[in-house]
């Protein structure tokens, strides 16, 4: 009886707390689609990849499910697509040409493709072609690939870039199955976020099928000089021949990670789990495209110290891919949950200390970010984000604060209660798109009644609706990182030389922590001493570079500039290069240097990266 009364009280509180928020937060403000009236339930693609024109062209068949019997219009999302023809078909009829129009261009949303029809057609076929400047596609000439033998093309559909290569309802609120027939140069292997077979012949004619319903941002395509090598029966690596062996060795624990996740959150439901190693121009660390995670080569270090990225992308197979945020204002449901699951996988495979080091480093990054982020963007359950680019929602608030909140719940309830609760969330909402309100309802109904006094309403509201990190947030410490703190202090106080610090056996996380804790600036002698002792300038480790080079710029260590230029011209991962560009943009001289480097590097950057850098230059005070 007490359980039932508490559950009822929880539901009443939920409706009270969110009554004022529910209406303004409803829907997806980053899509023109009207899924409450008509939904795409299956997509059929018949496309040709044209490297000479940097274009994908062909047709998209959209199978529709109408929920409003009076509705006669289909609104789709597009960006820079050329629409050649639109036709409709019912089961008992042939194809009929339909009237269509494109709205004025919106700098964030693109253009609405509005299709009028005299009756509710079950299938709409759109013949179209992409722009060479499509924001979701990157076309690389052979010289910018690892093997320098054949060109490379890959997509990045998150957050709202799928609309730049397919006309569709580009919202995570809509899930659909898809099939694809893709033609290409027969020298190139084509892959998609679908049923890629390891023994597929490279012949220029490929067929794919994704039988589980996915949102548009998880649709992906790539073409290049790609070969496959297995890790286990259900996992392997696709990469250029020059990269594949190093990747297989680095990510050899992938099967162990899958098994660890399954032991916690239930079976892996996507069939295969393969990794595609992309060129360094990939704008992110990884992208969780189902069955085929896209991975940056910048995490291949030779010592497996950055493989938490693989744990993260795999974790999305439950949080994000299986249960998806219905709009980008609720991205913490994807990324905060995934960061938490990633930590549990890392702990199971590599031990508690490895997982703790990752947590400390991430929380240090969050503390730095919160100094710059306005309070209204520091909350987990964000208001509607009209006029804001959803790419910018990918912040440490969603990732790290979201993870921290779940760790808080775990601490208060214990794993024996919290683990089954989290699995129930994935099981009950599998292949659904959900909102923060859905999770809070699940929390109040399933978890809170099990220990009614474990979490107060005030604490819950602080996590979900208030800026910053609540004072009740649990702390994590790492003995290995505490040893780094002591070493850094000895050096800063002049008690030891950098070369005499005991760094034998240090892994990447310890080096990152060393640099994260340095003063904002060092003097010239200190920079020279550190560099001579540890060879930071010119490092092949991008995580170290993204910390060392801004410190070098702030400290006036001009000796690093040639290496900075080479790094920015080689790497396109936004996380690694944006801190350097941001530091350069703070001075007139630095801004000019940044512009010169960008001019050389631009051809190898993804459109998403280019847009971020150009926006930075436009706002720079140094210019």
Same domain, 370 and 442: yes
Is residue 143 in some structural domain? no
- Condensed to tens digits (0 to 9), the pLDDT of residues 211-268 reads 999 999 999 999 999 999 999 999 999 999 999 999 999 999 999 999 999 999 999 9
Decide if pLDDT at 77 tops 80: yes
Note every long-range contact of 604-607, with CB atoms under 8 Å and residues 24 or more positions apart, other chains counting: 604/140, 604/144, 604/279, 604/280, 604/281, 604/569, 604/572, 605/281, 605/283, 605/572, 606/138, 606/156, 606/281, 606/282, 606/283, 606/572, 607/133, 607/134, 607/135, 607/136, 607/137, 607/138
Q: How many distinct structural domains can be found in the chain?
A: 4
Same domain, 243 and 307: yes
Same domain, 241 and 209: no
CATH code for the domain in which residue 79 is found: 2.60.40.1730
Q: End of a domain among 187, 214, 241?
A: 214
Q: Which residues are catalytic?
A: 313, 399
DSSP state string for 387-448: TS-GGGG-SHIIIIIHHHHHHHHHHHH-HHHHHHHHHHHHHHTTTEEE-HHHHHHHIIIIIG
Query: Looking at residues 483-488, what average pLDDT do you find?
Result: 97
pLDDT of residue 9: 33
pLDDT of residue 20: 37
Is residue 252 in some structural domain? yes
Decide if pLDDT at 18 tops 50: no
Query: Looking at residues 302-329, what average pLDDT do you find?
Result: 97
Same domain, 256 and 335: no
pLDDT of residue 91: 87
The reported pTM is 0.93
- Condensed to tens digits (0 to 9), the pLDDT of residues 140-189 reads 999 999 999 999 999 999 999 999 999 999 999 999 999 999 999 999 99
Is residue 140 in some structural domain? no
Residue ranges of the annotated binding site for Zn(2+) are 312, 316, 335
C-alpha 532: how far from chain center: 36
Decide if pLDDT at 416 tops 80: yes
Q: Work out the pLDDT band at 1, boundaries 50, 70, 90.
A: very low
Q: Work out the pLDDT band at 379, boundaries 50, 70, 90.
A: very high
Same domain, 519 and 590: yes
Would you give the DSSP letter of residue 280? T
Among residues 125, 44, 129, 127, the alpha carbon closest in space to that of 81 is found at 129
Is residue 352 in some structural domain? yes
Task: Give the gyration radius of the chain's Cα atoms.
Answer: 25
Decide if pLDDT at 99 tops 60: yes
Same domain, 160 and 243: no
Decide if pLDDT at 47 tops 60: yes
How many other CB atoms sit within 10 Å of the CB of residue 577? 28
Same domain, 508 and 415: no
Is residue 375 in some structural domain? yes
User: Coil, strand, or helix at residue 67?
Assistant: coil
User: Coil, strand, or helix at residue 383?
Assistant: coil
Do the bridges between strand 273-277 and strand 235-239 make them parallel or antiparallel, or are there none, so unpaired? parallel
Residue ranges of the annotated binding site for a peptide are 156-158, 283-288, 573-575
Same domain, 73 and 205: yes
CA–CA distance, 609 with 614 (Å, rounded to integer): 9
CA–CA distance, 165 with 41 (Å, rounded to integer): 18
DSSP state string for 314-376: HHTTTBTTTEEESSGGGTHHHHHHHHHHHHHHHHHHH-HHHHHHHHHHHHHHHHHHHTTS-GG
Query: Could you tell me the maximum CA-CA distance found in the chain, to the nearest angstrom?
Result: 85
CATH code for the domain in which residue 231 is found: 3.30.2010.30
Same domain, 308 and 372: no
Residue 49: strand pairing partners: 56
Q: What stretch of H or E contains 543?
A: helix 542-554
Same domain, 304 and 453: no
Domain that holds residue 508: 479-619
Same domain, 174 and 304: no
Same domain, 205 and 64: yes
Residue ranges of the annotated binding site are 156-158, 283-288, 312, 316, 335, 573-575
Query: Looking at residues 475-483, what average pLDDT do you find?
Result: 96
pLDDT of residue 244: 98
CA–CA distance, 41 with 213 (Å, rounded to integer): 8
Q: Work out the pLDDT band at 393, boundaries 50, 70, 90.
A: low
CATH code for the domain in which residue 443 is found: 1.10.390.10
| 67 contacts 37 by C-beta, under 8 angstroms | yes
């Amino acid at each position: 009886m007490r359980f039932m009364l508490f559950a009822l009280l929880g539901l009443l509180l939920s409706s009270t707390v969110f009554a004022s928020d529910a209406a303004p937060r409803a829907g997806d403000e980053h899509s023109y689609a009207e899924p409450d009236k008509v939904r795409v339930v299956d997509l059929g693609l018949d496309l040709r990849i044209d490297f000479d024109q940097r274009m994908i062209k062909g047709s998209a068949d959209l199978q529709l499910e109408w929920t409003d019997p009076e509705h006669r219009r289909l609104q789709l999302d597009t960006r820079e697509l050329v629409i050649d023809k639109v036709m409709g078909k019912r089961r008992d009829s042939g194809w009929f040409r339909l009237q269509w129009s494109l709205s004025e261009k919106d700098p964030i949303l693109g253009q609405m493709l509005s299709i009028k029809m005299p009756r509710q057609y079950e299938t709409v076929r759109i013949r179209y072609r992409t722009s060479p400047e499509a924001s979701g596609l990157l076309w690389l000439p052979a010289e910018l690939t690892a093997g320098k033998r054949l060109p490379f093309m890959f997509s990045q559909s998150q957050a709202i870039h799928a609309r730049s290569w397919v006309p569709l309802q580009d919202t995570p609120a809509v899930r659909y199955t898809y099939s694809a027939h893709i033609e290409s140069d027969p020298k190139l292997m084509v892959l998609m976020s679908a049923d890629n077979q390891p023994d597929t012949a490279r012949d220029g004619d490929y067929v794919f099928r994704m039988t589980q319903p996915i949102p548009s941002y998880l649709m992906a395509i790539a073409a290049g000089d790609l070969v496959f090598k297995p890790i286990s029966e259900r996992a392997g690596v696709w990469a250029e021949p020059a990269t594949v062996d190093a990747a297989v060795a680095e990510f050899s624990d992938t099967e162990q990670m899958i098994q660890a996740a399954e032991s916690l959150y239930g079976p892996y439901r996507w069939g295969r789990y393969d990794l595609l190693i992309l060129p360094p121009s990939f704008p992110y660390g990884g992208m969780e495209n189902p069955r085929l995670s896209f991975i940056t080569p910048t995490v291949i270090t030779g010592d497996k110290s950055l493989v938490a990225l693989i744990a993260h992308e795999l974790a999305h197979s439950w949080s994000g891919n299986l249960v998806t945020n219905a709009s980008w204002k609720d991205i913490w449901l994807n990324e905060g949950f995934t960061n938490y699951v990633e930590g549990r996988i890392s702990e199971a495979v590599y031990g508690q200390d490895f997982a703790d080091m990752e947590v400390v480093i991430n929380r240090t990054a969050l503390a730095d970010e919160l100094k710059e982020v306005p309070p209204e963007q520091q909350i987990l359950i964000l208001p509607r984000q009209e006029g804001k680019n959803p790419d910018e929602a990918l912040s440490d608030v969603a990732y790290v604060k979201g993870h921290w909140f779940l760790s808080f719940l775990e601490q208060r309830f214990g794993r024996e209660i919290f683990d089954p609760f989290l699995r129930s969330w994935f099981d009950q909402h599998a292949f659904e798109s959900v909102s923060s309100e859905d999770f809070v309802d699940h929390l109040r109904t399933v978890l809170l009644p099990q220990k009614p006094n474990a979490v107060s309403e005030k604490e819950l509201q602080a996590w979900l609706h208030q800026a910053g990190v609540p004072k009740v947030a649990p702390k994590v410490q790492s003995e290995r990182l505490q040893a780094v703190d002591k070493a850094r202090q000895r050096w800063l106080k002049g008690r030891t030389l950098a070369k005499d610090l005991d760094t034998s056996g240090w892994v990447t996380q310890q080096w990152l922590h060393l640099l994260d804790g340095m003063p904002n600036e060092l003097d010239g002698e200190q920079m020279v001493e550190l560099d001579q002792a540890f060879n930071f300038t010119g490092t092949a480790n991008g995580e170290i570079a993204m910390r060392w080079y801004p410190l070098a710029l702030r400290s006036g260590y001009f000796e690093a500039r040639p290496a900075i230029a080479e790094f920015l011209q080689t790497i396109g991962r936004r996380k690694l290069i944006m801190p350097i560009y941001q530091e350069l943009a703070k001075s007139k001289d630095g801004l000019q240097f940044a512009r010169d480097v960008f001019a050389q590097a631009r051809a190898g950057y993804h459109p998403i990266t280019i847009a971020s850098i150009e926006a930075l230059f436009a706002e720079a005070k140094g210019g």
